[in-house]
Structure 1
Amino acid sequence: MSASMIGMLGILIMFVLLVLRVPVAFAMFAVGFAGITILDSSRSAFSLLASESFTLASSPELVVIPLFILMGNVASVTGMSQRLYDAAYAIIGQFRGGLASATVIGCGGFAALSGSSVASALTMGKVALGQMDRFNYNTRLSTGVVAAGGTLGILIPPSTGFVIYAILTEQSIGRLFLAGVLPGILLLLLFIVMIMVICYFKPDFGPAGPKTNLQEKSKAILGAGPIVAVILLTIGGIYGGLFSPVEAAAVGAGFVILVGFVSRSLNIRMLWKAARDAVVTTATVMLILIAAHMINPFMALSHIPTAVGEFLSMLDLGVTGTLILILMIYLVLGCFLEGFAMLVLTLPIFFPIIMQLGIDPIWFGVLTVLTLEMGLISPPVGINVFIVKSVAPNVELGDIFRGVLPFWLMMILAVALLMAFPQIVLVLPNTMFG
């Protein structure tokens, strides 16, 4: 059997394991280790496992993962995300569809703290769905907004998706964080525009909420001050060159903990739980990364990236055509696979092709992450949809999928705009890093 056939068989076995709900890290590790053993030797496989595990565990760049996760966990338990939502609602809740727009803004703010789409959807679902139900919002709109708004979690920095992409492709985490800022804001605005369009044609979907006076608005905005401050401190500090992404993560985590203790919304028990959850999540991510570094050499030994590159060259689609084809593959895979799994499975194959075509890796990273996010609300898997279903068990799953469809179309539009105008992605990282 040829090396390429062994590689294809390994990928097929990995898909089968993932369908059988074997954890992503274990599925990749088993296939990568076995593949390297077959194509090289068991000694090489054990040596690679030992060296890559140590290298990743001692990598200072990966410190951003537990720190940003801790920051998001503390912000959630102290109610900072709730206060940002309250501020947005106080300002625009009185307008038709305003509560849904406030939910999107809340998701965006929480995304800037947690870096997790699932966490954003879960937290904002608990906070916002009850409020929208109280004001008689149509369940398709309310659940669709929460599921779609949660996708901002992996695009608006700090993003664990960008960290994984950076580690796998050896790109700058700081550049990727800055590259995600404007696309994240663009997507947030497109979601709000879609809410306005829906409520214009179907006013009963998003009735106007009660008006708030200036004093109530001021109080709500003041309450959201800490979360706005930490966002400006971390992202602004990176952009201004005051500190690196790792230092920004430490400053952000320290700031939210300090605010929590000063405001008495955080105690030792809550901090311990937030830290423990951060450790568990970090361990999961680290296992995936170690497994990914077993898959990459297996893919190289099987010559599959070279074969795929030659096949795409033979199709003669050009740079734009090849990029669109790759993104379409991600879109289809996103209906069946979890985002991290797709990154570690496909980047060893597609990234060499991207570099060969001269496509900017930072631009490609943002397009890839945005396309992966679409998978979070695409049937049949749609992780965010199932998260929202768990929070709103009385809403039919089909209604939630119908609710996210308009926002899914907005994500398609966002991808098209970023492809047509790459500077939306590149202006901030190029301004800072030159």
Structure 2
Amino acid sequence: MSRVTMPSMRKFGYKDSLAAGSIAAGGTLGILIPPSVALVLYGIMTNTDIGKLFIAGIVPGVLGLALYCLAAWLVTVYDPAAGPRGERKTWSERLRVLRGIWGVATLFIVVIGGIYLGIFTSTEAAGIGAGVACVFAVLRGGMRLRECIRILVDTASMTAMLFAVIIGALIFSNFVNVGGLLQALDNWVHQMQLGPVSVLIGVLLVYMILGLVLESMSMMLLTVPIFFPLMTGYGYDPIWFGIIVVVVTEISLITPPVGMNIFVLRATLPDVPTGTIVRGVIPFVTADIVRLAILTTLPIVVMFLPNRL
């Protein structure tokens, strides 16, 4: 996406720092907003309802998007040259542009709406979503038999890879249980007489530190089997904790100095200095920290929709 969006933003006069920062931050939203591979992985590892995890990710995802927009707006208020005003468009022109997303919007409503209303399970939703996407592709004339076969092969390959990762994670989880690590960790926490809030802060700090050096999925595979029993033992809701884990993972992807998305941008945009990218992501990291504070202090923001299922 950086190779597509960066030239367009430069064309409209955006500074490289704001453009790179918004691209890096926007790349993290897909981890949380359903359908999310990270939430599927968490649900399988912890035996948590994936449908409820998807529903729980909607409000935090929209909140993150709103805070990112606010961060970008504040940057342009402080430095108007960072993002010059665009051309004014009439509402009819804006609505005409939105017609192009009707397929994606319909697909999202069908999948997530069906899960929320209890019409089908998350597994059934995946199949229905794939079927609806194929119908849209055929109606638009962009799907041929050769392309359909290639998509099926790519999907099977990706699914096999994902299941290999999940199997490895479950083996690691059983190894942790058999090795007594969970019991040792629980005993240490109780000996330190740490309360639920202190444990939560400690877990969040561990995730922030690990996120500086580990890829998001690797971090989840290593930590969820260890921290999930500890957090649920202290009374934290499994669905809420899953959303918090994914949000912290998002933050780690753009946290200087070694956020994964920063290095991806540096590789795809060699003419943009690392320092420029780092300066650009700081407002969005701040927005993410504000969102994390809201979600941890007000769990109802996460649990409002799942509790209505």
TM bracket, shorter-chain basis: over 0.9
Deviation at 1:307, TM superposition (A): 1.2
After TM superposition, the structure 1 stretch with the greater mean CA deviation from structure 2, 210-219 or 157-166, is 210-219
* CA distance in structure 2 between the aligned counterparts of 1:255 and 1:372, rounded to whole angstroms: 31
> Does residue 1:132 correspond to 2:18, yes or no?
no
Aligned 8 A contact 2:71 2:284 in 1: yes
Among 398, 401, 414, the alignment partner of 2:278 is: 401
Q: How far 1:190 moved relative to its partner?
A: 0.5
Indicate the residue corresponding to 1:337 in structure 2: 214
Q: Distance in 2 between the 1:199 and 1:273 partners?
A: 44
Structure 1 letter corresponding to 2:52: R
Name the structure 2 match of 1:327. Answer: 204
2:187 aligned with 1:310, yes or no?
yes
1:100-179 matches, within 5 Å, as: 123=1, 125-179=2-56
The Cα shift of 1:220 comes to 0.9
CA–CA distance in structure 1, aligned partners of residues 260 and 207 of structure 2: 16
1:240 lines up with 2:240 in the alignment: no
Q: 1:276 aligns with which of 153, 156, 166?
A: 153
Give the superposition deviation at 1:270.
Answer: 3.5
Give the deviation of 1:347 after TM superposition. 1.8
- Higher mean alpha-carbon deviation, 325-334 vs 217-226, is at 217-226
Q: Is the 8 A contact 2:10 2:16 kept in 1?
A: yes
The range that moved more, 295-304 or 199-208, is 295-304
- Match of 1:336, SS? coil
Q: Which stretch shows the higher mean deviation, 391-400 or 202-211?
A: 391-400
State which of 382, 404, 414 in structure 1 corresponds to 2:291.
Answer: 414
- Alpha-carbon contact 2:257-2:278 (below 8 Å) kept: no
Gapped runs of 5+ residues in structure 2? none
How much has 1:380 moved relative to structure 2? 4.5
- Using the alignment, how far apart are the partners of 2:162 and 2:279 within structure 1? 32
Cα pair 1:337 1:381 within 8 Å, conserved: no
- After TM superposition, the structure 1 = structure 2 runs for residues 19-30 of structure 1, keeping only pairs within 5 Å, are none
Using CA pairs under 8 Å that are at least 6 residues apart, name the structure with larger relative contact order, 1 or 2: 2
**Is 1:357 paired with 2:234?**
yes
* Distance change in 2, residues 1:271/1:382 (3 Å): farther
Question: Pick from 257, 268, 278: which aligns with 2:134?
Answer: 257
- The aligned amino acid for 2:301 is I
Q: 1:205 — aligned with what?
A: 82
Q: 2:72 aligns with which of 154, 172, 195?
A: 195
Q: TM-score, normalised by structure 2?
A: 0.95
Distance 1:271 1:367, change over 3 A: same
Partners of 1:218 and 1:179 in 2: how far apart?
A: 29
1:367-386 matches, cutoff 5 A: 367-386=244-263
**Which of 150, 163, 171 pairs up with 1:286?**
163
Give distance in 2, aligned partners of 1:204 and 1:279.
47
Q: What RMSD in Å do the two structures reach over aligned CA positions?
A: 1.6
Name the aligned partner's letter for residue 36 of structure 2: S
Question: Deviation digits for residues 377-400 of structure 1, max 9, x if unmatched?
Answer: 124442222332333221112211
- Give 1:363 deviation, angstroms: 0.7
Alpha-carbon distance change, 333 to 186 in structure 1, aligned in 2, over 3 angstroms: same
Q: Which amino acid aligns with 1:165?
A: Y
Q: Provide the aligned length of Structure 1 versus Structure 2.
A: 309
Q: Which runs of 5+ in 1 are unaligned?
A: 1-122
State whether residues 247 and 292 of structure 2, in contact with CA within 8 Å, keep that contact through their aligned partners in structure 1. yes
Superposed, which structure 2 residues align to 1:4-153 within 5 Å?
A: 123=1, 125-153=2-30
Q: Structure 2 CA distance, aligned partners of 1:233 and 1:430?
A: 20
Deviation at 1:177, TM superposition (A): 0.7
The amino acid of 1:241's aligned partner reads G
Give a deviation string over 1:122-144, Cα, whole Å, max 9, x none: x3x24422210111211111111
| SS of alignment partner, residue 211 of structure 1 | coil
CA distance in 1, matches of 2:89, 2:147: 33
